[in-house]
Structure 1
Amino acid sequence: MTPLDAPITRIAVVGGGIVGWSAAVALRRRVPGVAVTIVATPPPPDALADRIAQTLPSTIGFHDDLGLSEDDAVLRAGGVWRLGSAFEGWAGDLPAYVHAYGPCGQPFGTASFHHHWLRAARAGTAAPFEAHAPAAMLARAGRMPIPPAGIVAEVQAAVMLDVPRYRAMLEAFARHLGVEVRDGEVATVRRRGDDGFVDALLLTDGTVVSADLFVDASGPRATVRGAIDDVREDWQRWLRCDRLVTADGPPERMTALDQVHATPAGWRWRTPTVDRTSHGLCYAGAFLAEADAQEALATAGATAIAPAVAFRQGTRPEPWAHNCVAVGDAATVIEPLDFTNLHLAHSAIDRIVAMLPGRACHPLEIADYNRQAQAEVGRVRDFVLCHYATAQRSEPFWRDLAALPDSLARTLAAFRERGRLPFFEEETFSRDDWLTVLIGQGTMPRRIDPLIETTDAADSDRAMAAYRAAIGQAVSRCPDLDAYFYSQRKRLGR
């Protein structure tokens, strides 16, 4: 076996935010025999995956793979549970809708559940679509799916992180696992002349970090991956938001729902946690001044308001090049609508573990990694963009979007014609997630699947009513969110 055919045994991670520490922990924990060094440079302000506290349910699975319990990753690190987001003002006069994590409806007969609902909606007899989603009803009621059994068993909880405490927890875990920590910043990326591989990193203190593989979690500047090339796919023609202002406010009653309000030049969120309320405003600088953005958050109750951060949405078509792979904002920058930032970073880390090549980093293996990564980020982009493409607002920011990406245009055309959704590989969001947004924003198909006619409409209505009743009974048996959270903290002596 030649040295280049041998397994990777040394990995260097660049970036000291939660993305970098997540990568260091996962690689050290899940790849046998690998030595991991992290250059713990603090993340820049525009590294959204390192800053946004809200996560998707996949974070829990990421923790499970690392052997981190709920006590460690949530309670001791100051996190709270999330079940979804309530979207308000996105669709004209239509009521707010909840995008919650888990299934919506129960299949019966020969057609998918949503076709039964669409037929009832045409007849004017349908209850709200979200009334058939256990997670949405739990979130509306302020309850948690404990124990996870029966009709609430498939509800998926996510986490609202306390970012500084979470980062400290990951750092402590990494040190416990034997990750070597180097403080400082990268001054020079040294590359080999024969094949272009990264040979070593020269730090500002004069020390050198060598490795077989380099994981760049340094943020949008991509300190290491950017030294190879700066090829990037720009999404700004579709996703116009390019500024983010975050803030904290006084604590409010804790809830498992974020409030996500559309505004004339973007959108803002509000998320109560244990000891504060998190606020944010994502907007387009061409349509709103920073002072007005800060004033809007102050009006919403925020007190500690940070300066605006500029960002530009887009992705690297090839996050992995030679022996360097970009993760987090070094790979993809996307606004935090639907809070996909940390999910994409964790997914990339999982993919590195699953597809780790030999030391030669064969081009075929790297090409397959990049293909899967781009399939995933493309559909996340489509899901975020779907909110804008189906919104019903008249302000200039919301009008005259560029021609949609083919993948999203095909999705919307299929649904608008007959209520169907095409299959795509590497989907982050399920069919029920897509349906919740499309229906919640008033997008309705011209025709309904003809298979629905094999079930009598009265039978459909009775089945949906019975399912809603079963959800209501299950929700009433689940504990109040506050009571559950504080009982868990008391158990830990906090």
Structure 2
Amino acid sequence: MTEPLRTVLVAGGGITGWYAAAAIKRRAPFLDVTMLATRGAPDALADRIACTLPSIRGFHADLGIGEEDAVLRTGAACRLGTLFSGWADDLPDYAHVYDRYGQRFGATSFHLHWLRARRAGWADAFDSYAPAAALARAGRFVPPTPGTPFADHDYGLTLDLPRQERMVRAFADHVGVRILAGEIADVAIDDRGFVARLTLVGGGSLAADLVVDATGPAARLRGAIDQAVDDWSGWLPCDRLLIHAGAPIEPPVLTPVVAHAAGWRWSSGAQTGIAYAAAHADEAALAALMPDGDRIAIRPGMRRAPWRGNCVAIGDSATQVEPLEWCNLHLALSAIDRLVTMLPDAAMAPVEAADFNRQCVAEAERVRDFVALHYVAARRPEPMWRACAATPPPDSLAHTLTQFAERGRLPFYEEETFSRDEWAAVLIGQGVLPRRVDPLVEAVPADAAAAAMARHKADIAAAVQRTPTHAAWLAAQASRLSR
């Protein structure tokens, strides 16, 4: 009979590590959880990118952290999606929001009816049928509201990162995480390939049954076991970031992402950034645009075995990807959830690690595909963009593109982060249209579809007028909290 798991050590100095320690202790309070708070890794994007996906709110809810603490008291703001500009030079901007696009009628997906209408010449922009896109373009916000067109959307957050980290650290302390400050001098690996002991700078050491590596791209713990990492640079061209944190201002509800000759740039309130491919960029010119920005190198790729032995890599220790579509923290939180669900005993049965790794790889590869889609489908003349368009995509993305290009079908993979509607939003937004219309749409006469689409747009427009601005909504929540 194997021994139960008793001790867990989390190492890292950013928000990812604090989330991991807090979640493990909160959901498994019988464990002795230690957080080794090292200096934060400046190139750990899961710790440094302010925009998040909606999954962060579910993660908070599972821990019992309410919106008052996670949003209002930490100065976070709500974001409904991303506004893409310049990704197809001959097309207008488009919104990718966390919502359904259109209203289902008949047996087929809305985007197939829209494609028929587009071919007939009378459809409006695809995102004009998404309630959250209309809401966000107007600078307004409401949470999901049953009985209105705004019943089904979700929303992420734009974080004030220092305040958010302080909140999570305080929560970890509150639930009983033992917190130690220190730096790692050496990592000893035993003959089983397990992390046996961490030696600390200045003396002392730490050991645990399970160790979690949240040290960023350096992967100080997991990297001591092996350095096997898949390289994604052929599909994800941006290998440099400039990030600047300025004075706090209200972030937009729809985060703008604008393509440029060698990459893209974004603005999310206090945080602004430029992503670029160094081989195609004038780095001096970009640095002049953001002279106070932190320069970060990205090595896009992932470990196919983030869990090996008794060591689990999360966040940038496991996967590095440019922050387009804001998946960095999401992947970290998803891995933490899986780890809690699959907590092993002290023997670390390989079958548990194998399934954890399978799920993490499946999720990360589809995130890679979704990010790569933006480059494959882009229509720009510069050399970087032409090189991206000429590069064969990963097999899984090629399958999605082939299916969509023929008749608008979107296959679904296990561990998808983004919905079919979100895939369709990017494909259609960047001008990828199927060769033929799916015959199943003929089950609904074209005039009936047109009338339903017009009613849906009118309902959205009328409902938008009754919603508050994002600033007014936040102010109302803060006023309620202060009573």
Using the size of structure 2 for normalisation, the TM-score is: 0.97
Secondary structure of 2:341's counterpart equals helix
**Equivalent in 330, 341, 345 of residue 328 of structure 2:** 341
Secondary structure of 1:182's counterpart equals strand
1:94 aligns with 2:91: yes
Deviation (angstroms), 1:290 = 2.9
The corresponding residue for 1:381 is: 368
> Please, which runs of 5 or more residues in structure 1 have no aligned partner?
299-304
1:400 aligns with 2:373: no
Looking at structure 1, the residues matched to 238 and 472 of structure 2 have their Cα atoms a distance apart, in angstroms, of 38
Alignment of 1:182-197 (within 5 A): 182-193=180-191, 195-197=192-194
Instruction: Name the CA shift for 1:332/1:459 in 2 (closer, same or farther; >3 Å).
Output: same
Looking at structure 2, the residues matched to 38 and 253 of structure 1 have their Cα atoms a distance apart, in angstroms, of 33
**Equivalent in 77, 81, 85 of residue 80 of structure 1:** 77
Looking at structure 2, the residues matched to 146 and 354 of structure 1 have their Cα atoms a distance apart, in angstroms, of 29
Alignment of 1:45-124 (within 5 A): 45-124=42-121
Question: Is the 1:145–1:153 Cα contact (8 Å) retained in structure 2?
Answer: no
Coordinate RMSD, CA, aligned: 1.5
Deviation (angstroms), 1:249 = 4.6
Letter in 2 for 1:131: S
Question: Is the 1:290–1:308 Cα contact (8 Å) retained in structure 2?
Answer: no
Using the size of structure 1 for normalisation, the TM-score is: 0.95
Letter in 1 for 2:81: G
The corresponding residue for 1:27 is: 24
Question: Is the 2:158–2:251 Cα contact (8 Å) retained in structure 1?
Answer: no
1:140 aligns with 2:140: no
Which range moved further: 57-66 or 41-50? 41-50
Question: What is the CA deviation profile of residues 290-318 of structure 1, one whole-angstrom value per residue up to 9, with x for unaligned ones?
Answer: 321123347xxxxxx22311121110010
Question: Is the 2:242–2:273 Cα contact (8 Å) retained in structure 1?
Answer: yes
Question: Is the 2:85–2:92 Cα contact (8 Å) retained in structure 1?
Answer: yes
Question: What is the CA deviation profile of residues 84-112 of structure 1, one whole-angstrom value per residue up to 9, with x for unaligned ones?
Answer: 11000001220000001111111111221
Question: What is the CA deviation profile of residues 53-105 of structure 1, one whole-angstrom value per residue up to 9, with x for unaligned ones?
Answer: 10000000000001001110111111111111100000122000000111111
Letter in 2 for 1:291: A
Instruction: Name the CA shift for 1:248/1:196 in 2 (closer, same or farther; >3 Å).
Output: closer
The corresponding residue for 1:281 is: 274
The corresponding residue for 2:169 is: 171
Secondary structure of 2:39's counterpart equals coil
Looking at structure 1, the residues matched to 402 and 368 of structure 2 have their Cα atoms a distance apart, in angstroms, of 17
Question: What is the CA deviation profile of residues 355-412 of structure 1, one whole-angstrom value per residue up to 9, with x for unaligned ones?
Answer: 1122111111111110110000000000000000000001001112332100001100
Question: Is the 1:145–1:155 Cα contact (8 Å) retained in structure 2?
Answer: no
1:290 aligns with 2:283: yes
Question: What is the CA deviation profile of residues 227-255 of structure 1, one whole-angstrom value per residue up to 9, with x for unaligned ones?
Answer: 10000001111111111001245666652
Looking at structure 2, the residues matched to 334 and 461 of structure 1 have their Cα atoms a distance apart, in angstroms, of 41
Instruction: Name the CA shift for 1:481/1:312 in 2 (closer, same or farther; >3 Å).
Output: same
Looking at structure 1, the residues matched to 202 and 247 of structure 2 have their Cα atoms a distance apart, in angstroms, of 42
**Equivalent in 24, 39, 44 of residue 42 of structure 1:** 39
Alignment of 1:200-239 (within 5 A): 200-239=197-236
Looking at structure 1, the residues matched to 448 and 95 of structure 2 have their Cα atoms a distance apart, in angstroms, of 26
1:451 aligns with 2:444: no
Looking at structure 1, the residues matched to 339 and 126 of structure 2 have their Cα atoms a distance apart, in angstroms, of 38
Deviation (angstroms), 1:493 = 4.1
Letter in 2 for 1:482: A
Question: Is the 1:147–1:478 Cα contact (8 Å) retained in structure 2?
Answer: no
Looking at structure 2, the residues matched to 226 and 142 of structure 1 have their Cα atoms a distance apart, in angstroms, of 44
Question: Is the 1:54–1:160 Cα contact (8 Å) retained in structure 2?
Answer: yes
Deviation (angstroms), 1:320 = 0.3
The corresponding residue for 2:337 is: 350
**Equivalent in 304, 312, 321 of residue 317 of structure 1:** 304
> Please, which runs of 5 or more residues in structure 2 have no aligned partner?
none
Looking at structure 2, the residues matched to 161 and 250 of structure 1 have their Cα atoms a distance apart, in angstroms, of 14
The corresponding residue for 1:181 is: 179
Looking at structure 2, the residues matched to 248 and 370 of structure 1 have their Cα atoms a distance apart, in angstroms, of 35
The corresponding residue for 2:256 is: 259
Number of aligned residues: 480
Question: Is the 1:82–1:256 Cα contact (8 Å) retained in structure 2?
Answer: yes
Looking at structure 2, the residues matched to 482 and 100 of structure 1 have their Cα atoms a distance apart, in angstroms, of 19
